[in-house]
Amino acid sequence: MSTTADPLAALGALPGVADSVDSVRKAVDRVYGHRVMRRRSNEITSEAALRGARGSAALSGADWALEEVRRRTDFSGDGEERTVGAALRLTAEAGQLLSIWRQSPLRVLARLHLVAAADSAEGAGRPRLAGEPVDEPLIELPVPDADEVAGRLEGLSQLIIAGSAAPALVTAAVVHGELASLRPFGSYNGLVARAAERIVLVGSGLDPKSVCPAEAGYGELGRAAYVAALDGYASGRPEGMAAWIAHCGKAVELGVRESTAVCEALQRGAA
């Protein structure tokens, strides 16, 4: 990452990033301008949360049909049930943490992991210590050691607290990319990273009603594309980081498409 006073803004100046930012802004404006949003935004928000949780869980290995996620009430089993349950809990919790994020992002991340792990995992709610394993099989990057994790988390926290002139998409993509590549916790890092991105997108004012579920977009783009883009971010090369930001932007646009479809369905039902 750049060593300028505002490294996030420097990323926003990378080739192609401005086009991604502009495309996302136009897409978000379109769905917010839909006539159904003016009357039934709470319904759109609820449906976006469900679809976002489903997409995030799919990237973490639990690729369930949307109606199965909607129908199921018990997520106490092992494996995929726990993953889907964690994704749903995180989606609900993220909206409660907006006011804390800008003052104490590390506290928010700890809370997100505690919610995802449902207090059941050893080390829940704190970054992993030296020698502790990471259960994140679908992210194949080399795992940074605990000292590197601590240093980079602190650096990320300082960036968030200091604020930036960078567009919301850039900040959200960096938060997501750092957490997914660092894997600071022993488990559920992908889910936490995507929930943190959601907090940035909502808290920045880009998507204040949380109706543009990027997580659904990532699920639609698929794991292979996600892993390839994350590899580019982790490389630290400008072109790789720009490609990651573009991937995040495309996911937001696909999330917009999901909610636009929901708006259209509600409009037809009311006709």
- Mean pLDDT estimate for the chain: 94
Q: Which residues contact 241 (CB under 8 A, 6 or more apart)?
A: 11, 14, 177, 232, 233, 235
- Mean pLDDT score, 69-87: 91
Whether pTM > 0.85 for this model: the answer is yes
- Mean pLDDT score, 96-117: 96
Rounded to whole angstroms, the Cα distance separating 106 from 123 reads 15
For residue 178, what are the CA distances in angstroms to 33, 144, 226?
33, 11, 14
For the record, the structure tokens of 96 come out as 């409660």
The SS3 of residue 78 is: coil
33-67 pLDDT tens trace:
999 998 999 999 999 999 999 999 999 999 999 99
CA angle (95 as vertex; 202, 191 as ends), nearest 5 = 85
DSSP 8-state symbol, 187: B
**54 CB neighbour count, 10 Å cutoff:** 26
CA angle (268 as vertex; 255, 26 as ends), nearest 5 = 35
For the record, the structure tokens of 142 come out as 């080399």
Per-domain boundaries in the chain:
5-266
| pLDDT attached to residue 2 | 43
* pLDDT confidence band for 4 (50 / 70 / 90): low
DSSP 8-state symbol, 128: P
What class, spelled out in words, does domain 5-266 have in CATH? mainly alpha
For the record, the structure tokens of 36 come out as 């159904």
